[in-house]
Chain A
Amino acid sequence: MSQAILEVRDLKKHFGAVRAVDGVSFAIDRGETLALVGESGCGKSTVGKAALRLFDVTAGEVILDGTRIEAMGAGALRPLRRKIQVVFQDPFSSLNPRLRVRDILAEPIRNFGLANGADIEARIASLLDKVRLPREAAGRWPHEFSGGQRQRIGIARALAAEPDLIICDEAVSALDVSVKAQIVNLLQDLQKELGLALLFISHDLAIVEHIAHRVAVMYLGRIVEIADKRVLFSTPQHPYTQALLSAVPVPDPTAISSRIILQGDVPSPLAPPPGCHFHTRCPYAFDRCRSDAPDLRDIGGAHRAACHLRQGPAETA
């Protein structure tokens, strides 16, 4: 097995008393798409920003291509940043309104010393080709483009650094359906062409099912289940994953709804409940769930779930 391009071990990020991320571990292999799903406020974007070192983590390790970066100084980290890039959700605020597209794309090329002089122009042209934008776009301002086109510019900027991993932080959530499909297909084509790994942060399960190889489900700062996409969508093991998947609308009016309706709201990350974070809403919760936090355990076939119900009888006894 090849070395993971990104590995996160027991990552914690607390904002004051808010435990946004509370012990998250996962790894992404080269060329793989891992989707990180969960509802708003579960900490999935914080995981992405911690991996990008946009802020310092509270605890845990972030290992980028074999190098620990979570405590590295800004100067030493800068050249390593080339390997991990990001595409943000909002196509309007993710491009500097006062720079032309050419200057936006030239910035990573110059910063990482990937080309000089006239070569930069050639690279910009090839980047625009890659994201299927006309080459004339280089001389335009961001406000001259639509949301989908701006998202393509954002992808081109990420590609300009020649990364190994791109973090797509809700990268298609703000786009309308047809544009969303175009961008998802573009990301998949680029992944095949360039061997990119993607960390696809999303709340849209339909798109996750389409694009991901593996899926990790987050609830209140922790990963509750992580598995191969087919396994997770066909045989979800954690009660939260089951409820989440049952909420995906089925485009068939005659289908009988088997939706699991959860009671209550997500508890506040200011005061997460003891034990399993999900026990306040779990239909199967028993005494142990209220005191012991379940570990993310292997339950066969690289399928891991954090639930006392899914652990061997010897352990629950």
Chain B
Amino acid sequence: MSESADARYAAAPALPDILPPVRVRTGALGFAMRHPTMAIGLAILAVMAFVALFAPWLGTVDPTALAPAKRTRAPSAEFWFGSDAFGRDIYSRVLYGARVSLLVGFAVAAIASAIGLAIGLVAGYVRWLDGVIMRVMDGLMSIPPILLAVALMALTRASVSNVVMAISIAEAPRVARLVRGVVLTLREQPYVEAAITTGTTTPRVILRHILPNTVAPLTVQATYICGSAMIVESILSFIGAGTPPIIPSWGNIMADGRALWQVKPYIIFFPAIFLSLTVLAVNLVGDGLRDALDPRMVKRL
């Protein structure tokens, strides 16, 4: 407004700002300020991914090389994390073990989400199939996931891909139930009804109007599955039903150290720290994602 206009009209002074202006930071620092849990989680995950990818260049030796003369050494300059009952370097084994854990975690999250999404969409949209599909899912969920995975592993040969499939099958029903619930809510939404009245075919209604709106809750669920899959993989390896003993995984290393854990606790300690940190990081990212995708949930607890 020009000064002459101010002079001519007796205007009330401007009201003080009810909501003071908020400076929104951009860039990486801004992201970390707004989503601290997700930033911490992503940072730890990035370190783990780096360690897994570049394990051969991080001062490691062959993780399967035996050195019977140097068994169960305490952490030292030669064995940073000590050596196990066969004289293998635990530092190298833990770093290479990150590969298995991360691979299993992310592969299970992706495969279980894909299977669960497909089953959930069908159950939610095809009413007459819903009862049958969901009772089968209830049946699968009534078996503890570890038992189910152990049973599936007993049917097949021990390998990383079989571990991934076994855990995926055990986790998929939970995704299916979540997606079905979301689909049942979405199909009653007026915009879905409007899509039907504007002549959209059922497959296109599902693809354009239902599927994109299931992505947010599904992503959050996928992160929790990722964390849970890493733990299940370790448990399976620990009890000898998972990753073959020749491939170092955090569960295998802990299984090897089990007999000696009272006298040589570091054999279990180092892989356990890595496993806990990674699962914590994945769960932090999941919490952060949930808060970012659904602001109503923030700080409720």
Contacts and interface: CB of A to CB of B under 8 A. Distances in A.
B198 A85 contact: yes
* A-B pairs with lowest CB-CB distance, top 9: A111-B199, A108-B198, A94-B190, A88-B190, A98-B212, A96-B191, A81-B199, A78-B199, A93-B190
Contact of A157 (B196, B198, B201, B208): B198
B208 A86 contact: no
Interface residues of B, number: 17
A5 to B, nearest CB: 15
A124 interface: no
Nearest to A98: B212
Interface string A19-57: 000000000000000000000000000000100101000
Interface string A89-103: 110011111110000
A305 interface: no
Nearest to A90: B190
B197 interface: yes
A111 B198 contact: yes
Given A81-B197, A93-B189, 14 more contacts: A52-B193, A54-B193, A54-B196, A54-B197, A78-B201, A81-B196, A86-B197, A93-B191, A94-B191, A94-B194, A98-B213, A107-B198, A111-B198, A161-B199
A154 interface: yes
A157 B194 contact: yes
B199 A82 contact: yes
9 contacts: A54-B197, A85-B198, A86-B193, A93-B190, A96-B209, A97-B213, A108-B198, A108-B199, A111-B200
A142 to B, nearest CB: 9
Interface in B197-216: 197-202, 208-209, 212-213
A246 to B, nearest CB: 33
Contact of B199 (A79, A88, A96, A98): A79
Interface of B: 189-191, 193-202, 208-209, 212-213
Given A74-B202, A98-B212, A98-B213, A85 B190 contact: no
A93 B188 CA distance: 10
B24 to A, nearest CB: 17
A233 interface: no
A141 interface: no
Contacts of A161: 198-199
Nearest to B216: A98
Nearest to A80: B199
B189, B195, B197, B202: most-surrounded residue (chain A CB, <10 A)? B197
A108 B191 CA distance: 13
Contacts of A112: 198-199
A84 interface: yes
B194 A88 contact: yes
B198 to A, nearest CB: 4
Contacts of B191: 93-96
Interface in A161-177: 161
A205 interface: no
